[in-house]
């Protein structure tokens, strides 16, 4: 069946300006970190991507190593784009990244000019596009000079293979140094992609303030703490959860009794607001307008629909915000 986008796709979604740039991003963006790889169902991935677009999600976030196997998420998205979404390319923001391991030898990861620009060329082929809208340095390289990595991002933009430059997983200090280099080159930093959730608030210790000062946006990844801030773990760890898989980046050791106590108390607050825990957590991330977009993952369409519905209630009272702080700081909740 030929896909035709919904005529109502822009009616409910919120779009936020990314820092001081001319670009707006949907308040909810879809990340293809998991569940869109070569080991996953193509049809399920296609249905999630097209449903997301119908809900007004115009931003799709990838990286060269997303899969598994690495590269396969870009390949899946490229196939969906070619078969279903090609007429809507100019309505979409497609991002990808380079930084993690992709191929053997000394040039297959990190932040050298050779790796970063070679990776971008490979990503464009897998995605079947001439350019990406945002190209990120996925992680800082402890050995390559920052000037070289930022110079590669600048070259990507200058060549027309990317429209904007971004960073991910950089500290506040590293980001500020990168911003200065990019500014001198003539390619301002558009956006930073850090971890941020109710349970992981490190960006509040300087990064957020610094990004606002320099006019860059923020897109938060793992805003649901890889499922901890959903109903998935409220009654313990399900047997089919990725948290129990030995190879999973997310593991059972993170789900302590103390964390579960806090999550259950937050869930009670969510219910009082008429929201699921996931909706509550996303609303909190987006609450003050300081975060441009919350980057969600999904394994089925219903999760995307649930998450987008969070946008109907992003306001918190002072009492609610105070209660959240009490819950998060308490060591032994009663």
The pLDDT, as a whole number, for residue 249 is 54
Burial of 293 per CB tally in 10 Å (0-12, 13-18, 19+)? buried
Q: pTM (2 decimals)?
A: 0.94
> Does a cis peptide bond (omega within 30 degrees of 0) precede residue 75?
no
Contacts by 271-278 with C-beta closer than 8 Å and gap 24+? 273/313, 273/320, 274/313, 275/310, 275/313, 276/230, 276/231, 276/306, 277/229, 277/230, 277/231, 277/234, 278/224, 278/229, 278/230, 278/231, 278/303, 278/306, 278/307, 278/310
What Rg, from alpha-carbon coordinates, does the chain have?
A: 19
Q: Tens of pLDDT along the chain (334 residues)? A: 899 999 999 999 999 999 999 999 999 999 999 999 999 999 999 999 999 999 999 999 999 999 999 999 999 999 999 999 999 999 999 999 999 999 999 999 999 999 999 999 999 999 999 999 999 999 999 999 999 999 999 999 999 999 999 999 999 999 999 999 999 999 999 999 999 999 999 999 999 999 999 999 999 999 999 999 999 988 877 666 555 444 445 556 678 999 999 999 999 999 999 999 999 999 999 999 999 999 999 999 999 999 999 999 999 999 999 999 999 997 544 4
Rounded Cα gap, residues 306 and 245, in angstroms: 26
The pLDDT, as a whole number, for residue 245 is 47
In the chain, the domains with their CATH numbers are 15-251+276-315 (3.20.20.100)
Pairing type for strands 217-221 and 189-193 reads parallel
Six token digits for residue 314: 């992003």
């Amino acid at each position: 069946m030929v896909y035709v986008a919904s005529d109502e796709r822009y009616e409910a979604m919120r779009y936020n300006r990314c820092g001081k740039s001319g670009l707006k991003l949907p308040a909810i963006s879809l990340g293809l970190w998991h569940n869109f790889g070569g080991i996953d169902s193509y049809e399920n991935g296609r249905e999630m991507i097209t449903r997301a677009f119908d809900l007004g999600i115009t931003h799709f976030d990838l990286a060269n190593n997303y899969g598994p196997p690495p590269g396969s998420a870009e390949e899946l998205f490229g196939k969906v784009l070619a078969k279903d979404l090609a007429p809507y390319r100019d309505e979409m923001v497609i991002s990808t990244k380079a930084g993690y391991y992709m191929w053997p030898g000394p040039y297959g990861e990190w932040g050298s000019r050779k790796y970063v620009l070679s990776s971008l060329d490979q990503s464009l082929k897998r995605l079947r596009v001439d350019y990406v809208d945002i190209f990120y340095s996925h992680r800082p390289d402890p050995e390559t000079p920052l000037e070289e990595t930022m110079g590669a991002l600048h070259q990507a933009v200058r060549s027309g293979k990317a429209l904007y430059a971004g960073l991910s997983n950089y500290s506040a200090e590293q980001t500020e140094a990168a911003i200065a280099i990019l500014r001198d080159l003539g390619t301002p930093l558009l956006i930073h992609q850090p971890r941020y959730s109710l349970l992981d608030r490190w960006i509040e210790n300087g990064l957020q303030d610094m990004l606002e000062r320099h006019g860059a946006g923020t897109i938060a990844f793992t805003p649901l703490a890889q499922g901890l801030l959903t109903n998935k773990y409220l009654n313990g760890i399900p047997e089919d959860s990725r948290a129990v898989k030995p190879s999973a980046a997310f593991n059972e050791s993170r789900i302590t009794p103390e964390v579960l106590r806090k999550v259950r108390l937050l869930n009670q607050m969510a219910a009082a607001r008429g929201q699921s825990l996931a909706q509550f957590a996303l609303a909190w991330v987006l609450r003050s307008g300081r975060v441009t977009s919350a980057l969600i993952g999904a394994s089925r369409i219903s999760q995307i629909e649930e998450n987008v519905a969070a946008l109907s209630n992003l306001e918190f009272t002072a009492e609610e915000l105070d209660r959240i702080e009490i819950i998060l700081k308490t060591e032994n909740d009663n």
